[in-house]
Chains A and B, each alone.
Chain A
Amino acid sequence: MTAPMRPRYELAERLYPYARSPDQDQAEPARHPVVVVGAGPVGLATALDLALRGQRVVVLDDHEGVGQGSRAICFSKRSLEIAHRLGCGEAMHAKGVVWQRGRVFRDRDEIYAFDLQPEGGHRFPPFVNLQQPYVERFLVERIAAVRAEGAEVEIRGANRVDDLAQAADGVTLDITTPDGPYRLRADYVVACDGARSPIRERMGLTFEGRVFEDNFLIADVRMTADFPTERWFWFEPWFKSGASALLHKQPDDIWRIDFQLGWDIDREAELRPAAVRARVDAMLGPDVDYALDWTSIYTFQCRRMARFRHGRVLFAGDSAHQVSPFGARGANSGLQDAENLAWKLDLVLRGVAGETLLDSYDTERGAAADENILNSTRSTDFLTPKSEASRLFRDAVLDLAEGHAFARPLVNSGRLSVPAVYDDAPLVGPDALPGGPAASRPGAPCPDAPLGQGFLLDRLGGGFALLALNCTPPSVDGPEGVPFERIGLTCERDDPLARRYLGDAARAVYLLRPDQHVAARWGDPTPAGIGRALRHALGTTA
């Protein structure tokens, strides 16, 4: 019945070669608390986060390493912060190309420029460009390192999930390997198996949304060039290689170029090296020496699953939601899924939280997906006007933008990923800090700030934290089995820490979640109020 093992794509690097597991020789399926399906950035981050929390995790991937091509290349500050907590943020930062400025051109004229880092005092820049295979490699290396230190996490390459069956007490997975089939039992399955998610298909779940009638050609070009490390975007470029074009620098002298091709194209013809080179030549000029490193054609799609949790199967990353790429909202939102899910699943597996906490994964990340899809859809409507009126307004914005500052914010060549704020989410507690800054309101990710020789986010462990600024942390303990720490800090009026957490308040107490999002904040909390907010953040009523 099962198809033979055959790679769907060529590997760039064999990171986790197939090795026979003792589980394959068991008469009864071996049981694991968590099985993650898919060893892309989201699956690896989920597994690593869970392993660092002490959970036993198996990652299954139908290949033995990373595929070819740069794919996701823009990693946001929040993604770097998440990766830093997991132990590979510095590697990504060191290898990545740091950028923060973008320029938008129409024809030959610059009509708009932006700078994403208005304030200092953050460990990480707003973005680095880094090929997805590097991110996967850093995560795999970190997993190997924590495993060597005793963490129970393993990646099984060439383990393809062909079927799964869910019962009240667990999920049974049918797996095919080069040595034949075997079965595993899992308390929970996290499906990080990509936009075409075979698990989602197998479960017959829908993936609704829009496909935009346009095609984009990616050409990764290897060349030494002295363009600045900025995001350059052209509407109606003078070199006529597409309706729009994007140029972005990656590490290793690779440049990402995107050309907007239109809807009715011959994909095969467009992907021929001569056709790609003709477009690149027109853009770069005849004298530039370059090599084509990778090419691909994609369409813009915005879709999501109705729910990201189906009993004991949870979907994260592209399997749960897909957005068009001009906003870096794919991999970055997937990494936020991973961090949102990992601590919740950990506490549920420890038996200190229940269904409500797992359901909040769907609520919080579902809202984040809606926000990403909304932004992505609006960008796409600007890039690919869907009607005559839509094109009329788009062109009017571009006409006005060069000479008039007011029109520049309307130019939309992609709104770049910012982390979701879980406003109005069920787990979010009181905002009882009069004068507190909006950026650190309950639901928001903690803004980083310099602290001594390091940064605030380093000071937070992986559990809940009660952060008291310019006052003594109230003496409250977390519930049994829930990692909880109290941190007292002092800051001067003009410190970034004060600006980001006190605003006009003289002192503050923050309850922070394990994913470094603010759960609640007060000027003058009571121990009972903190206890309530903490139970609320755990999804336990009363």
Chain B
Amino acid sequence: MTLTTAPNLPDPDGVYAALIDAHEGLTKAESDALNARLILVLANHIGDLDVLRAALEVARGDGTP
């Protein structure tokens, strides 16, 4: 399996809204915790360390923090 970086969301605006809505009314700490749990759920769904590593590369961008 390789990481999909081509557009893959049938309803991009709906996905974006779902992410933002989930954080509605949360404190910064609660949001951070939610994001961490979400990442773990998605990592398990992907189930492939190489894909996860490729995703981390993309997320890190050009290497600047």
CB-CB < 8 A to B44: which residues of A? 406-407
Cβ B40 vs Cβ A400 within 8 A: yes
Prevailing SS type, chain B contact patch: helix
Q: Mark B7-49, 1 if CB is under 8 A from A, else 0.
A: 0000000000000000000000000110011011100100000
Residues of chain A in range 383-412 having any CB-CB distance to chain B below 8 Å = 392-393, 395-397, 399-400, 406-407, 410
Cβ B40 vs Cβ A392 within 8 A: no
CB-CB < 8 A to A410: which residues of B? 40
CB-CB < 8 A to B36: which residues of A? 392-393, 395-396
Kindly provide the distance from the CB of B12 to the nearest chain A CB, expressed in whole angstroms. 26
Kindly provide the distance from the CB of A435 to the nearest chain B CB, expressed in whole angstroms. 26
Kindly provide the distance from the CB of B11 to the nearest chain A CB, expressed in whole angstroms. 26
Cβ B40 vs Cβ A395 within 8 A: no
Cβ A392 vs Cβ B41 within 8 A: no
Minimal Cβ-Cβ distance residue in B for A396: B36
CB-CB < 8 A to A395: which residues of B? 33, 36
Minimal Cβ-Cβ distance residue in A for B37: A396
CB-CB < 8 A to B37: which residues of A? 396, 399-400
The listed residue (B32, B33, B40) touching A407 by CB distance below 8 A is B40
Interface size on A, residues (CB 8 A): 10
Cβ B40 vs Cβ A393 within 8 A: yes
Q: Choose among A393, A396, A397 the residue with the greatest number of B CB atoms under 10 Å from its CB.
A: A396
Kindly provide the distance from the CB of B6 to the nearest chain A CB, expressed in whole angstroms. 27
- Roughly how many angstroms separate A287 CA and B37 CA in the complex, as a whole number? 40
Minimal Cβ-Cβ distance residue in A for B45: A406
- Roughly how many angstroms separate A122 CA and B44 CA in the complex, as a whole number? 34
CB-CB < 8 A to A397: which residues of B? 40
Kindly provide the distance from the CB of B47 to the nearest chain A CB, expressed in whole angstroms. 9
Residue ranges of B at the interface with A (Cβ–Cβ < 8 Å) = 32-33, 36-37, 39-41, 44
Beyond A393-B36, A393-B40, A396-B37, list 17 extra A-B contacts (CB 8 Å). A392-B33, A392-B36, A395-B33, A395-B36, A396-B33, A396-B36, A396-B39, A396-B40, A399-B37, A400-B37, A400-B40, A400-B41, A406-B41, A406-B44, A407-B40, A407-B44, A410-B40
Residue contacts A-B, CB under 8 angstroms, 24 given: A392-B32, A392-B33, A392-B36, A393-B36, A393-B39, A393-B40, A395-B33, A395-B36, A396-B33, A396-B36, A396-B37, A396-B39, A396-B40, A397-B40, A399-B33, A399-B37, A400-B37, A400-B40, A400-B41, A406-B41, A406-B44, A407-B40, A407-B44, A410-B40
